[in-house]
Structure 1
Amino acid sequence: MKAATPSGPACAAEAGSRFALLNDRRFWLAFAFLVTLLGFPRSMLTEWMTRTGEVYSTTHPGGGDFVVFWIASRMLLEGHLSGLFDPGEFSRYILDLYGSDFGVRWLYPPHFLFFLAPLGLFPYLVAYGLFMGGSLAAFLFVAARVWGDRSIAVWLLIAPVTALGILIGQTSFIVGTLFVGAIYLWDERPILAGILLGLLTVKPQFGVLIPLVLLLERRFLVIAVATTTATALISASILAFGIEPWRAFLFGLQDPTGAILLSERDAFLSVQMTVYGAARYFGLDFAAAAGLQGMSALFAVCSLIYVTLSSAPRGAKAAMLVTATYLTLPYVLYYDLAAPTFVALWLYLGHGRSSRPGIFVSVLLVGVASISFLNGIATTFWHVNVAPVAFLALAVFLISSVRRETPEVSG
């Protein structure tokens, strides 16, 4: 006797349960992150372990760019602060230790030294572990606080930006902590948000558009607290180190800064996430690339004003601020993506929304969260930097969603 086969609703239910995993967006997000980790960061992990390659040399103790912060702490504790802002002396100090200066220079404001000073008391790898572990823990804590539960920490731990940030030893998680914490918390915790913004002045370029939003939204308490915090930090650094480090920072670092912006090395331009970097990588000269970057910044600012003045939900406005910032800056590298990753996860998982984005937008958001890997593929096989395209597409999506869901703009 032939067994009966399910049909109609019963068959659909069985098929739905059979493919429940494939229909779960969390599966595809985890899959994308796994592919990324087994690809791009895995090769860098090999370099880290063997101390080979462009970033990790045989004499470098590991931890990538963290050598800048450790050397700065050592120079401060040994009384060589003036040499920190002298590119030549900074280079000689590293040469004396390692026989190579790795092409890195100190480019940060003096008050950042308050946070780095204790690191020089420890051996390099111990200091590296404390710096990266502490900053990552802070980022995960703030992200969970903003999200409302700790589930976001799991996604951030397996996100590409985390592996890259740890391996390269940069300020990725510090920027993510301060940027995300400030803009997502200034509704309910304006004083805390202002303090975080004041601290963000250690990487001031990432706050370039924040004053505009604060003024448009009339968040005068946040402005006052941020200004007070930044002023206190700067004043304390002048009392501790004198005025000369600030003069050197503001007027004496043009050469290394210019060298970064004018670099024509493919290996460097391929990991820039900006319109300027992509244009230079494509082969355009400085003027043409700067012009395109200016157009991108103008589009970003106009888009940000539109979304900020709309009645869009807070999550959409915060996402637009982050996206506009990354479209405005001419210099952002592939480890600076903590904030965009958080934004992409917020939108992709439908946090605070009644509905989640459709398949095409979901692909875009997963792409933004994995853009360092996708850009690595595009630059390797097609010699095209696609990173800014993802941010432009995200900006267009945010504008269209605001127009669709909140057509009236408030003045």
Structure 2
Amino acid sequence: MRLQQVTERYLWIVGNLLMIGLFAIDISQLHGFRVGDNVMWGRDFLNLWAGGRLAIEGRLDALYDLGRYHDFLQANFGPLALHIYSYPPTSLLLDVPFGALPYALAYALWTIGGAALFFFAARPYMREAGLPAWLALATPAATINLWAGHFGFLMGALWLLAFRDFDVKPKRAGITTALMAVKPHVALLIPLLLLRRMRWTTMLVSGAGVGVIGVASLIAFGPDLWRTYVHTTATLEVSTMGMGGQFFQTMMTSTMVTMRQHALTMPLAGMAQVATAVTAVVLLWRAAKPGVPLASLCFPAATATFLVLPYAFDYDMTVATLGMILTLHRRWDAMTGWERAALGAGFLVPQGCILLAMAGIPLVPGILLVALVVQMRAEGLFSPLPEREGPGVGWPAVGVSVS
């Protein structure tokens, strides 16, 4: 068996060993829909369901109040570990349909529907690389979403669909991008790329869509909820980056959190975060020069996002990890050993970051930064390209044959 096949096979296996273990532990402690004494199966999906249920019951004043929110969850499910609803009010537009359903049914629809949507969005990329489409649901970031019920499948699918459309269907790409307003920070770098390439149609449609979603949330849930979110919850999110000893922090990939976990002061950790973010933005800005189709930036931009965001989690890395393994698979023969190792390490980050944090090894930001450079080199984004628009470098666009 070729070295490439062996390496890729072990990356898929090793990348999911932690989730396999966590699933096994949960199943061994499962009674009803509860795991152990204080966790629900589906874990953080509970927040999405609770947000929708609170909106339906007209009790949104409890959504961003830690004590009252916790009381609401315990009244419905019994003793639970502390949960925090940290999403903006726009997310409630998505939550309400799920909150109207029994929890178990809502969780099943959320997981199956999200996985199906991500499968659909990733299928052209997998087909172009000659890999089975179902493997898109088996990356280390994807299996975290299966375990913990996060937004990674939905946001990843919207990201993939938007980048396939940027060069060929700009209005539809704008609509898709606008839908990411349910969790907007994940799409932070998309406006930068659109501005760099002066894609005014997409920007206009996306901006209008975000405006409609924002106004809809204001009308449906009231301005007070937004004020509470900005003044209370957003501040709480910032404070969590300076905390220590919390398991959820091991799932955070940012430079700031990594440095804080290793005894740096907040100012020094913040400076390290800024340095990492600026480096990633400069690399991406350089790669997005005229003549480079935006479709070719789909995966590098996803990787760069987790170097820029100070508040970022491994379960949102569905596109980033998919890009690592696809670039490794497609460009294997053109890469050196260290470049292959860099992409392999990047692929393992979503679950590896937990183990590295527990071991006190602050490598995640460095791994992602090196992997970003390798991705760009492998796809020719540092080399001069002819002035043209169209399909990405090696990546298909809608309406373009990939057979």
Give the TM-score normalised by the residue count of structure 1. 0.85
Question: Does 1:172 pair with 2:155?
Answer: no
| Aligned equivalent of 1:277 | 257
- Quote the Cα distance in structure 2 between the aligned partners of 1:26 and 1:315: 27
Matched to 1:395, the amino acid is L
| Aligned equivalent of 2:391 | none
Which fold has the larger relative contact order, with Cα–Cα distance below 8 Å and residues 6 or more apart in sequence?
2
- Quote the Cα distance in structure 1 between the aligned partners of 2:54 and 2:71: 12
Q: Percent identity?
A: 23
1:279-337, Cα deviation, whole Å (9 max, x unpaired): 11222121111110011111111111111116456554333322221111012122121
Change (3 A) 1:172 1:221: same
| Aligned equivalent of 2:75 | 96
Matched to 1:216, the amino acid is R
- Quote the Cα distance in structure 2 between the aligned partners of 1:120 and 1:392: 39
| Aligned equivalent of 2:220 | 240
TM-aligned CA deviation for residue 148 of structure 1: 5.1
| Aligned equivalent of 2:19 | 41
| Aligned equivalent of 1:389 | 366
Q: 2:299, 2:319 within 8 Å by CA — same for their partners in 1? A: no
Number of matched pairs? 383
| Aligned equivalent of 1:72 | 51
Residues 363-374 of structure 1: pairs in structure 2 closer than 5 A: 363-374=341-352
| Aligned equivalent of 1:293 | 273
CA RMSD of aligned residues (A): 2.7
- Quote the Cα distance in structure 2 between the aligned partners of 1:74 and 1:141: 29
Question: Does 1:30 pair with 2:43?
Answer: no
Matched to 2:86, the amino acid is L
Change (3 A) 1:165 1:58: same
Which stretch shifts more, 177-186 or 353-362?
353-362
TM-aligned CA deviation for residue 247 of structure 1: 2.1
TM-aligned CA deviation for residue 364 of structure 1: 1.9
1:27-73, Cα deviation, whole Å (9 max, x unpaired): 42122211333x21122102321348xx9542433111111111112
Question: Does 1:194 pair with 2:171?
Answer: no
Q: 2:167, 2:295 within 8 Å by CA — same for their partners in 1? A: no
TM-aligned CA deviation for residue 384 of structure 1: 0.7
Which stretch shifts more, 166-175 or 116-125?
116-125
- Quote the Cα distance in structure 1 between the aligned partners of 2:197 and 2:325: 25
Matched to 2:92, the amino acid is L
| Aligned equivalent of 1:160 | 140
- Quote the Cα distance in structure 1 between the aligned partners of 2:119 and 2:5: 19
Q: 2:334, 2:378 within 8 Å by CA — same for their partners in 1? A: no
| Aligned equivalent of 1:129 | 108
- Quote the Cα distance in structure 1 between the aligned partners of 2:300 and 2:40: 39
1:207-257, Cα deviation, whole Å (9 max, x unpaired): 222211101111111101111111111112222222222222222324532
- Quote the Cα distance in structure 2 between the aligned partners of 1:152 and 1:263: 41
3-state DSSP class of the match of 1:85? Answer: coil
3-state DSSP class of the match of 1:69? Answer: helix
Q: 1:327, 1:392 within 8 Å by CA — same for their partners in 2? A: yes
Question: Does 1:214 pair with 2:202?
Answer: no
- Quote the Cα distance in structure 1 between the aligned partners of 2:103 and 2:239: 27
Give the TM-score normalised by the residue count of structure 2. 0.86
Q: 1:51, 1:60 within 8 Å by CA — same for their partners in 2? A: no
Q: 1:271, 1:334 within 8 Å by CA — same for their partners in 2? A: yes
Question: Does 1:360 pair with 2:333?
Answer: no
1:171-196, Cα deviation, whole Å (9 max, x unpaired): 11111112222123211221221111
Matched to 1:28, the amino acid is T
Q: 2:50, 2:73 within 8 Å by CA — same for their partners in 1? A: yes
Q: 1:161, 1:335 within 8 Å by CA — same for their partners in 2? A: yes
Matched to 2:154, the amino acid is I
Change (3 A) 1:378 1:256: closer
- Quote the Cα distance in structure 1 between the aligned partners of 2:48 and 2:380: 45
- Quote the Cα distance in structure 1 between the aligned partners of 2:106 and 2:97: 9
Change (3 A) 1:189 1:355: farther
Q: 2:178, 2:207 within 8 Å by CA — same for their partners in 1? A: yes
1:265-288, Cα deviation, whole Å (9 max, x unpaired): 153333221111211122212111
- Quote the Cα distance in structure 2 between the aligned partners of 1:56 and 1:376: 20
Q: 2:178, 2:209 within 8 Å by CA — same for their partners in 1? A: yes
- Quote the Cα distance in structure 2 between the aligned partners of 1:354 and 1:328: 27
1:358-402, Cα deviation, whole Å (9 max, x unpaired): 43322222222222333344344x421322122110233245557
Task: Select the structure of larger CA radius of gyration.
Answer: 1
Matched to 2:20, the amino acid is R
3-state DSSP class of the match of 2:207? Answer: helix
Structure 2: state its 5+ residue gaps: 388-403
- Quote the Cα distance in structure 1 between the aligned partners of 2:377 and 2:13: 31
Which stretch shifts more, 336-345 or 262-271?
262-271
Change (3 A) 1:322 1:91: same
3-state DSSP class of the match of 1:262? Answer: coil
Change (3 A) 1:354 1:22: closer
- Quote the Cα distance in structure 1 between the aligned partners of 2:81 and 2:157: 28
- Quote the Cα distance in structure 2 between the aligned partners of 1:400 and 1:141: 28
Q: 2:127, 2:133 within 8 Å by CA — same for their partners in 1? A: no
- Quote the Cα distance in structure 1 between the aligned partners of 2:235 and 2:335: 45
| Aligned equivalent of 2:393 | none
